[in-house]
Amino acid sequence: MPELPEVESARQKIQTVAKGQRIRAIQTLGDTIVFENVAPATFAKKLKGKKVLRVHRHGKFLWWEMDKPPHPVFHLGMTGHFAAPGIDNIELESGFDVGEQWPPRFWKVHMEFDNGKKLAMTNARRFGRIFLYKDPLTESTISKMGFDPLTQPITSKEFCEKIRSKKAVLKGLLLNQAFIAGVGNWMADEICYQAKVAPQRKCNTLTPKESQAIYKALMKVVTKACSVNADKKRFPKSWLFHHRWGKDETAQTSKGETIAFDTVGGRTTAWVPTRQV
């Protein structure tokens, strides 16, 4: 699933193509599962001719600020992304090849702007969602989310006080979008690995030093992944990320540590028992 860094990469791509441009043409696929609160045809009708002022992101949600409401909101789900001719797509472990043709495979909406550039949202497994809102920030999809560690970070002190007050399992809390917006499965595993804390730990058993280590790992993972535009080939070779996929029983980290696979917080979890306590 696209997590905060991948969604931030999508935001930057959309901004490059669409910021300051009017939607000259738009076509939607009649997928009433992906289009959540608006009919696909109505979505196209409401946006055609509108100008994109800015592109925003909070956690895993994207929304476009138009010159007048309503404003489109997107969640990429498990496999979604935005494609644009001439701009490379980031590779997702759970991704599907959308091909070289235009519009791309699995498209749900594609559009052309006054500058001649094109953009499409694809969603192969149909877990993504498209909304149309008068004021996205007041809608529960965004307003009830926790802090965004890239755009709205909280202090180490505030984070440590909050996390140590919770009785939840650590990984489950990291995945809770009402606590931190944007952290998904691979990020949660990476944060726990770098902090040297077992993902099964109850948060109210964490020491001040451990909670500080988790905060530091969170900020490090987010900052680094976003700085390389979510290009997994440019993630540090020491990261667990490169070795956590596929539940390989022989999997080891770059340091030769044995990786275990368990279900924690309802999700498949990769961790290193000899390192994480």
pLDDT tens track for 233-255: 999 999 999 999 999 999 999 99
Task: Give pLDDT, residue 95.
Answer: 59
* Neighbouring residues of 198: CB distance < 8 A, sequence distance ≥ 6: 170, 192, 271, 273, 276, 277
Whether 4-143 and 156-271 share one fold: the answer is: no
pLDDT tens track for 96-134: 677 778 999 999 999 999 999 999 999 999 999 999 999
Residue 195 φ/ψ, nearest 5 degrees: -80, -10
Please state whether beta strands 129-133 and 71-75 pair in parallel, antiparallel, or not at all (unpaired). antiparallel
Fold of 156-271: Helicase, Ruva Protein; domain 3 (1.10.8)
Running DSSP on this structure, what letter comes out for residue 84?
B
Task: Give pLDDT, residue 94.
Answer: 59
Whether the pTM exceeds 0.85: the reply is yes
Task: Give pLDDT, residue 100.
Answer: 78
Task: Give pLDDT, residue 256.
Answer: 98
Residue 98 φ/ψ, nearest 5 degrees: -90, 0
Q: Where are the alpha helices (DSSP H) in the chain?
A: 4-18, 40-47, 140-143, 156-164, 170-175, 185-195, 208-227
* Neighbouring residues of 275: CB distance < 8 A, sequence distance ≥ 6: 193, 196, 257
Q: HEC profile for 123-145?
A: CCCCCCEEEEECCHHHCHHHHCC
Closest residue by Cα to residue 220 from 205, 244, 239, 243: 239
H or E element at residue 24? strand 23-28
Domain 4-143 has CATH 3.20.190.10: yes
Please state whether beta strands 52-58 and 61-66 pair in parallel, antiparallel, or not at all (unpaired). antiparallel
Task: Give pLDDT, residue 96.
Answer: 65
Domain boundary assignment for the chain: 4-143, 156-271
Q: Is 185 left (phi over 0), alpha (psi -120 to 50) or beta?
A: alpha
Task: Give pLDDT, residue 98.
Answer: 74
Catalytic residue among 60, 108, 118, 171: 60
93 is an active site residue: no
2 is an active site residue: yes
Task: Give pLDDT, residue 88.
Answer: 81
Task: Give pLDDT, residue 73.
Answer: 98
Closest residue by Cα to residue 44 from 65, 68, 70, 15: 70
- Written as one letter, the residue type at 215 is Y
- The C-alpha atoms of residue 103 and residue 84 are separated, in whole angstroms, by 9
- The C-alpha atoms of residue 244 and residue 206 are separated, in whole angstroms, by 24
- Written as one letter, the residue type at 79 is T
Residues of the chain under the 70 pLDDT cut: 91-96
CB 151 within 8 A of CB 118: no
